[in-house]
Protein backbone atom coordinates (compact mmCIF):
# COMPACT_ATOMS: atom_id res chain seq x y z
CA UNK A 1 0.00 0.00 0.00
CA UNK A 2 1.29 3.43 -0.93
CA UNK A 3 1.94 5.85 1.90
CA UNK A 4 -0.38 8.50 0.53
CA UNK A 5 -3.05 7.65 -2.01
CA UNK A 6 -5.27 9.87 -4.09
CA UNK A 7 -7.71 9.20 -6.88
CA UNK A 8 -5.96 10.72 -9.91
CA UNK A 9 -9.27 11.64 -11.56
CA UNK A 10 -9.83 13.68 -13.58
CA UNK A 11 -12.90 15.03 -11.90
CA UNK A 12 -14.93 16.87 -14.53
CA UNK A 13 -17.47 19.21 -12.99
CA UNK A 14 -19.55 22.17 -14.20
CA UNK A 15 -19.07 25.64 -12.81
CA UNK A 16 -20.90 26.08 -9.55
CA UNK A 17 -20.70 22.43 -8.58
CA UNK A 18 -19.46 21.11 -5.28
CA UNK A 19 -16.65 18.59 -5.50
CA UNK A 20 -14.81 16.59 -2.87
CA UNK A 21 -11.50 14.76 -2.89
CA UNK A 22 -10.19 12.26 -0.40
CA UNK A 23 -6.65 11.28 0.40
CA UNK A 24 -5.74 8.24 2.49
CA UNK A 25 -2.50 7.75 4.35
CA UNK A 26 -0.97 4.60 5.76
CA UNK A 27 1.16 5.88 8.63
CA UNK A 28 -1.01 6.21 11.70
CA UNK A 29 1.73 8.29 13.37
CA UNK A 30 1.40 11.05 10.76
CA UNK A 31 1.26 14.41 12.43
CA UNK A 32 0.50 17.11 9.92
CA UNK A 33 -1.48 17.38 6.74
CA UNK A 34 -1.72 19.86 3.90
CA UNK A 35 -3.42 20.42 0.59
CA UNK A 36 -1.45 21.97 -2.24
CA UNK A 37 -2.57 23.05 -5.65
CA UNK A 38 -0.44 22.64 -8.74
CA UNK A 39 -1.22 24.23 -12.09
CA UNK A 40 0.18 22.77 -15.27
CA UNK A 41 3.94 23.35 -15.59
CA UNK A 42 4.02 25.34 -12.37
CA UNK A 43 5.20 24.70 -8.85
CA UNK A 44 2.81 23.50 -6.11
CA UNK A 45 1.29 26.24 -3.98
CA UNK A 46 -0.01 25.77 -0.49
CA UNK A 47 -3.79 25.79 -0.43
CA UNK A 48 -4.40 25.05 3.22
CA UNK A 49 -3.19 23.15 6.23
CA UNK A 50 -5.57 20.56 7.63
CA UNK A 51 -6.31 20.74 11.33
CA UNK A 52 -7.83 18.09 13.53
CA UNK A 53 -10.94 20.16 14.05
CA UNK A 54 -11.32 20.79 10.34
CA UNK A 55 -10.90 24.18 8.78
CA UNK A 56 -12.50 26.35 6.18
CA UNK A 57 -11.15 29.04 3.91
CA UNK A 58 -13.79 30.63 1.75
CA UNK A 59 -15.11 28.00 -0.63
CA UNK A 60 -12.62 25.40 0.56
CA UNK A 61 -13.10 23.09 3.52
CA UNK A 62 -10.53 20.57 4.72
CA UNK A 63 -11.17 17.80 7.19
CA UNK A 64 -9.11 15.15 8.90
CA UNK A 65 -10.35 11.75 9.97
CA UNK A 66 -7.63 10.12 12.03
CA UNK A 67 -9.64 6.99 12.80
CA UNK A 68 -10.01 6.16 9.13
CA UNK A 69 -6.72 7.80 8.17
CA UNK A 70 -7.88 10.15 5.49
CA UNK A 71 -8.15 13.83 4.79
CA UNK A 72 -10.64 15.49 2.52
CA UNK A 73 -10.96 18.68 0.55
CA UNK A 74 -14.35 20.10 -0.37
CA UNK A 75 -14.68 22.85 -2.95
CA UNK A 76 -18.00 24.64 -3.15
CA UNK A 77 -19.26 26.77 -6.03
CA UNK A 78 -16.46 25.64 -8.34
CA UNK A 79 -14.87 28.25 -10.58
CA UNK A 80 -13.10 27.72 -13.88
CA UNK A 81 -9.94 28.90 -12.15
CA UNK A 82 -10.14 26.00 -9.71
CA UNK A 83 -9.03 23.67 -12.50
CA UNK A 84 -5.71 22.24 -11.33
CA UNK A 85 -4.14 19.23 -9.69
CA UNK A 86 -4.68 19.00 -5.95
CA UNK A 87 -1.89 17.39 -3.98
CA UNK A 88 -2.27 15.85 -0.56
CA UNK A 89 0.79 16.08 1.71
CA UNK A 90 1.36 14.14 4.90
CA UNK A 91 4.22 14.52 7.36
CA UNK A 92 5.33 12.30 10.19
CA UNK A 93 7.64 13.25 13.00
CA UNK A 94 10.43 14.20 10.60
CA UNK A 95 10.51 17.15 8.25
CA UNK A 96 10.09 14.98 5.21
CA UNK A 97 6.74 15.35 3.49
CA UNK A 98 5.08 12.59 1.54
CA UNK A 99 3.09 13.71 -1.48
CA UNK A 100 0.16 11.98 -3.05
CA UNK A 101 0.13 11.71 -6.82
CA UNK A 102 -2.52 14.37 -7.04
CA UNK A 103 -6.14 14.60 -8.13
CA UNK A 104 -6.90 16.42 -11.34
CA UNK A 105 -9.90 18.74 -11.36
CA UNK A 106 -11.40 20.19 -14.51
CA UNK A 107 -14.15 22.75 -14.11
CA UNK A 108 -16.02 23.42 -17.33
CA UNK A 109 -18.49 26.17 -18.26
CA UNK B 1 3.03 33.04 2.16
CA UNK B 2 6.79 32.81 2.27
CA UNK B 3 8.81 33.40 -0.87
CA UNK B 4 11.25 30.97 -2.41
CA UNK B 5 13.12 31.86 -5.56
CA UNK B 6 14.84 29.57 -8.00
CA UNK B 7 17.36 30.39 -10.67
CA UNK B 8 17.50 29.85 -13.56
CA UNK B 9 13.87 29.29 -14.51
CA UNK B 10 14.83 27.59 -17.72
CA UNK B 11 18.10 26.18 -19.01
CA UNK B 12 19.14 24.35 -22.13
CA UNK B 13 22.51 22.66 -22.09
CA UNK B 14 24.49 20.18 -24.11
CA UNK B 15 24.96 16.60 -23.07
CA UNK B 16 27.99 16.17 -20.81
CA UNK B 17 27.90 19.62 -19.28
CA UNK B 18 26.98 20.50 -15.71
CA UNK B 19 24.18 22.76 -14.62
CA UNK B 20 23.78 24.51 -11.28
CA UNK B 21 20.37 25.47 -9.95
CA UNK B 22 19.99 27.85 -7.03
CA UNK B 23 17.19 27.89 -4.51
CA UNK B 24 16.82 30.80 -2.11
CA UNK B 25 14.40 31.51 0.70
CA UNK B 26 13.87 35.25 0.53
CA UNK B 27 12.05 36.11 3.72
CA UNK B 28 12.71 33.29 6.15
CA UNK B 29 15.48 31.02 7.29
CA UNK B 30 15.13 27.60 5.75
CA UNK B 31 16.43 24.95 8.06
CA UNK B 32 15.50 22.30 5.55
CA UNK B 33 15.28 22.39 1.79
CA UNK B 34 13.97 19.70 -0.50
CA UNK B 35 14.76 19.01 -4.13
CA UNK B 36 12.18 17.42 -6.38
CA UNK B 37 12.00 16.34 -9.96
CA UNK B 38 8.84 16.11 -11.98
CA UNK B 39 8.45 14.55 -15.41
CA UNK B 40 5.50 15.55 -17.60
CA UNK B 41 2.15 14.37 -16.27
CA UNK B 42 3.82 12.60 -13.37
CA UNK B 43 3.88 13.32 -9.67
CA UNK B 44 6.63 15.09 -7.78
CA UNK B 45 9.53 12.85 -6.94
CA UNK B 46 11.62 13.75 -3.93
CA UNK B 47 15.30 13.56 -4.79
CA UNK B 48 16.96 14.69 -1.60
CA UNK B 49 16.56 16.54 1.65
CA UNK B 50 19.18 18.99 2.79
CA UNK B 51 19.72 20.62 6.15
CA UNK B 52 21.91 23.66 6.47
CA UNK B 53 25.50 22.78 7.17
CA UNK B 54 25.16 19.04 6.77
CA UNK B 55 25.24 16.54 3.95
CA UNK B 56 22.10 15.97 1.97
CA UNK B 57 20.06 12.82 2.40
CA UNK B 58 19.28 11.26 -0.95
CA UNK B 59 16.27 9.14 -1.79
CA UNK B 60 16.80 5.63 -3.02
CA UNK B 61 17.80 5.52 -6.64
CA UNK B 62 19.11 9.08 -6.77
CA UNK B 63 22.84 9.24 -7.46
CA UNK B 64 24.51 11.61 -5.04
CA UNK B 65 27.58 11.98 -7.27
CA UNK B 66 25.42 13.04 -10.17
CA UNK B 67 23.12 15.39 -8.29
CA UNK B 68 25.34 17.44 -6.00
CA UNK B 69 23.52 19.35 -3.31
CA UNK B 70 25.01 22.08 -1.19
CA UNK B 71 23.12 23.85 1.58
CA UNK B 72 25.68 26.41 2.59
CA UNK B 73 23.43 28.82 4.44
CA UNK B 74 19.95 29.10 5.88
CA UNK B 75 18.77 30.86 2.76
CA UNK B 76 20.56 29.09 -0.07
CA UNK B 77 20.75 25.58 -1.43
CA UNK B 78 22.17 24.55 -4.79
CA UNK B 79 21.64 21.50 -6.95
CA UNK B 80 24.26 20.72 -9.56
CA UNK B 81 23.41 18.21 -12.25
CA UNK B 82 26.79 16.89 -13.33
CA UNK B 83 27.48 15.46 -16.76
CA UNK B 84 23.89 15.97 -17.77
CA UNK B 85 22.24 13.63 -20.27
CA UNK B 86 18.97 13.96 -22.19
CA UNK B 87 17.22 11.69 -19.69
CA UNK B 88 17.96 14.29 -17.00
CA UNK B 89 15.67 16.72 -18.81
CA UNK B 90 12.93 17.49 -16.33
CA UNK B 91 11.30 20.09 -14.14
CA UNK B 92 13.37 20.56 -10.97
CA UNK B 93 11.65 22.19 -8.03
CA UNK B 94 13.01 23.12 -4.64
CA UNK B 95 11.05 23.78 -1.52
CA UNK B 96 11.98 25.15 1.86
CA UNK B 97 10.66 24.99 5.37
CA UNK B 98 11.63 26.85 8.48
CA UNK B 99 10.61 24.32 11.07
CA UNK B 100 9.41 20.91 12.01
CA UNK B 101 6.59 18.75 10.80
CA UNK B 102 3.86 21.29 11.49
CA UNK B 103 5.42 23.94 9.31
CA UNK B 104 4.34 24.40 5.73
CA UNK B 105 6.88 24.13 2.95
CA UNK B 106 7.05 26.66 0.20
CA UNK B 107 8.08 25.89 -3.32
CA UNK B 108 10.30 27.73 -5.71
CA UNK B 109 8.95 28.36 -9.22
CA UNK B 110 10.98 25.49 -10.65
CA UNK B 111 13.70 25.12 -13.24
CA UNK B 112 12.98 23.50 -16.56
CA UNK B 113 16.11 21.71 -17.71
CA UNK B 114 16.50 20.54 -21.27
CA UNK B 115 19.59 18.56 -22.19
CA UNK B 116 20.26 18.28 -25.90
Mean pLDDT by 10 residues, chain A (109 residues): 87 97 92 93 92 91 95 98 96 81 95
> Maximum CA pair distance of chain B?
41
Per-residue confidence at B100, pLDDT binned at 50, 70, 90?
A: low
Which among A32, A42, A96 has CB closest to B102?
A32
Q: Could you count the other beta carbons within 10 Å of the beta carbon of residue A5? A: 16
Distance from CA of B21 to the nearest CA of A (A): 15
Helices and strands: H and E segment counts in chain B: 0, 11
What is the DSSP-derived secondary structure letter of residue B103? S
Distance from CA of A40 to the nearest CA of B (A): 9
Higher local confidence (pLDDT), A1 or B65: B65
pLDDT digit string, tens, across residues B68-95: 999 888 899 999 999 999 999 999 999 9
Q: Report the SS3 class of residue B48.
A: strand
In this prediction, residue A58 carries a pLDDT of 96
What are the C-alpha distances in Å from B20 to residues A24, A74, B26, B83, B89?
36, 40, 19, 11, 14
In this prediction, residue B1 carries a pLDDT of 65
Do B104 and B17 contact (CB within 8 A), yes or no?
no
In this prediction, residue B51 carries a pLDDT of 86
Task: List CB contacts (< 8 A) between A46 and chain B.
Answer: 1, 104-106
Tell me how long chain B is: 116
In this prediction, residue A78 carries a pLDDT of 98
CA distance B86 to B12: 10
Task: List CB contacts (< 8 A) between A97 and chain B.
Answer: 34, 105
CA distance B115 to B32: 28
CA B17 vs. chain centroid, Å, equals 18
pLDDT digit string, tens, across residues A17-47: 999 999 999 988 888 899 999 998 899 999 9
Q: Give phi and psi for B88, each to the nearest 5.
A: -85, -5
- Bridge partners, A20 (sequence order): A74
Amino acid sequence: RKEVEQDPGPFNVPEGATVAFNCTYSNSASQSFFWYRQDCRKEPKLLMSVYSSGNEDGRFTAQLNRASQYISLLIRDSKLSDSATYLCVVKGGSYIPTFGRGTSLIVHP
Amino acid sequence: GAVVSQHPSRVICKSGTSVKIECRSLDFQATTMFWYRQFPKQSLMLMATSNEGSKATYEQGVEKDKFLINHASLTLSTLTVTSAHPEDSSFYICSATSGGPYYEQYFGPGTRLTVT
